[in-house]
Amino acid sequence: MIQIQQHVDARDIITLRKSCKGLHAATQQRTVWLNALRRMCWRHGVFAPSFPLEYMSIKELEHASLAPSRISSLIHKGALRSFVTRILEPRTPSIVSNVKTDLKCESTFLIPGGRFLVVNSYCHGICLWDLGIHAGKVPEFSPVDVIQQAGYEFLCTGPTRDGLGIVIVSYLKRWDDRTLVAHEIYPCTSNPKFACLGSIKYPNRIDDIDIPALSGELLVFKGSPSCIVVWNISLGAAVAWSYSESIYDNILISGDSIILVQEFKLSVWDIPPLLPLSKGDCKIVTHSPKYEVTHPFSSKGWWTSSVLSPWFSRINTPILFVIFGENDDQPIMVCYTLISITSSMDPTLPMVLPIKTGTALGLPAEAIIPTDIDICGCLQYCENELCRISLSGTQLMISLVTPPTSLNDVPPITSNLFNCRSDPLSCSFCAVSGRVVVVEAGCEDIRIMDYLAPPPS
């Protein structure tokens, strides 16, 4: 019976527990919940070292394994309420000479799993904090470590190649320095320290660096009004090229190809050979897309898009990106995946094709309207549903959407997440742990809210 439960999800284990005494006893075994937690981490793109498996009780293993299904259930019931709200009180000195000030947060990001938090501050560098694995753990007063570079802005994050560390990419927002830097850290080791992996000087104007995509050691980002940069962080090699349209909304990386979600179309590009950096600079080449196709909103007003978090890059998921827009004044979400094709017989063919998988109706207008601040973030999965964060005035909302395979009759569920007292400067939500971190304008507090009660001691 234990062998059977090693191949089912956490929610199904609870169902089996209720069927008979024998299965009830089997579900109390530690090995059952160890496997359940590992499966949950894999399905949800979780940073697995967040959970110290050897030190967790059976109750803690069960709690963590079931967290996504419990969050989903609370949202569907309209019963999402913060169990506890805490204020992170940073005790880290300023890294700017002759400047003594409390930490003023500019942006935050919860590493999937909800335990580790990236905090960006101009005068205090980029800090990594350990918040604990659930609401019953007290956050540390001091950060795990700090990237001691004043003025750098957090750009994106992803897992290291072995999955045991965190890669953080940041850039210097100054006209006289166009440097972008990648660091890695293994936060669960005995003496975790940030180590610099490499840096690159990106082309042209600094105010235009935007829209990154990170997959393994490959970073793709917008480096100027019409320039795409591809950088292999570990090899110290890169390439850049211009493209015809000055507006695009998102980038995806798939093997040796990238996909741009552009103003009027989707375009697929093969990644050209990368060249060694010359004094930190990359070479700009002439390049053209292998495939282009219009998307449903290419001739209709405004639209926006969202891609799946880079933490899902190792997982075969049914939806990789979505485009939001309106059809007959009704908000809709069009879902896409990518399929690989064999192009060896015809070199003119692309290696991947974007394929529409279905359309979801019934989202509130606020869930599809782009905002001036990065509230929405990347798509996540919560159980088997796509999770989308949106902003309505000062109200943070959360929507769950069943991935459609055709015109979907299952309406999305939207629930209130948090009512801010003022405009939010930053918000990060982890669908796996039910944890939200919010920073509001005019307030220096880093507010941590847990929507699930901790497991019993």
Decide: helix, strand or coil at residue 260.
strand
175 has a pLDDT exceeding 70? no
Average pLDDT, the chain: 85
pLDDT tens sequence across 120-168 = 887 888 999 999 999 999 888 789 999 988 778 888 999 999 999 999 9
298 has a pLDDT exceeding 90? no
Q: What is the pLDDT of residue 206?
A: 47
What integer is the mean pLDDT of 110-114?
95
pLDDT tens sequence across 394-429 = 888 888 988 886 555 678 888 888 888 887 878 899
Measured distance CA(191)–CA(325) in Å, rounded = 47
The mean-pLDDT minimum among 64-68, 230-234, 277-281 falls in: 277-281
Query: Distances in Å between the alpha carbon of 88 and those of 34, 92, 94, 117, 248?
Result: 30, 12, 17, 11, 36
| H or E segment and range at residue 73 | helix 58-77
253 has a pLDDT exceeding 70? yes
What integer is the mean pLDDT of 327-353?
83
Query: Distances in Å between the alpha carbon of 208 and those of 158, 232, 256, 385?
Result: 22, 20, 25, 33
Amino acid found at 319: I
376 has a pLDDT exceeding 70? no
Residue 119, C-beta contacts closer than 8 angstroms, at least 6 positions apart: 88, 90, 103, 105, 107, 108, 126, 127, 128, 129, 143, 446
- CA torsion 51→54→60→66, rounded to 10°? 60
Measured distance CA(324)–CA(331) in Å, rounded = 7
DSSP state of 407: B
Measured distance CA(53)–CA(430) in Å, rounded = 20
What integer is the mean pLDDT of 89-112?
77
pTM over 0.85: yes
291-294 and 265-270 beta bridge pairing = antiparallel
Label residue 279 left, alpha or beta by phi (over 0 means left) and psi (-120 to 50 means alpha): left
Nearest one of 215, 94, 107 to 155, comparing CA atoms: 107
DSSP for 43-71 reads: HTT--GGGS-GGG--HHHHHHHHHHHHHH
198 has a pLDDT exceeding 90? yes
Q: What is the pLDDT of residue 279?
A: 84
List the beta bridge partners of residue 293. 266
Measured in Å, how far apart are the chain's first and last C-alpha atoms?
A: 27
DSSP for 126-166 reads: EEEEE--SSTTSPPPSS-SEEE--TTEEEEEEEE-TTSSSE
- Pair of tokens at residue 204: 């042209």
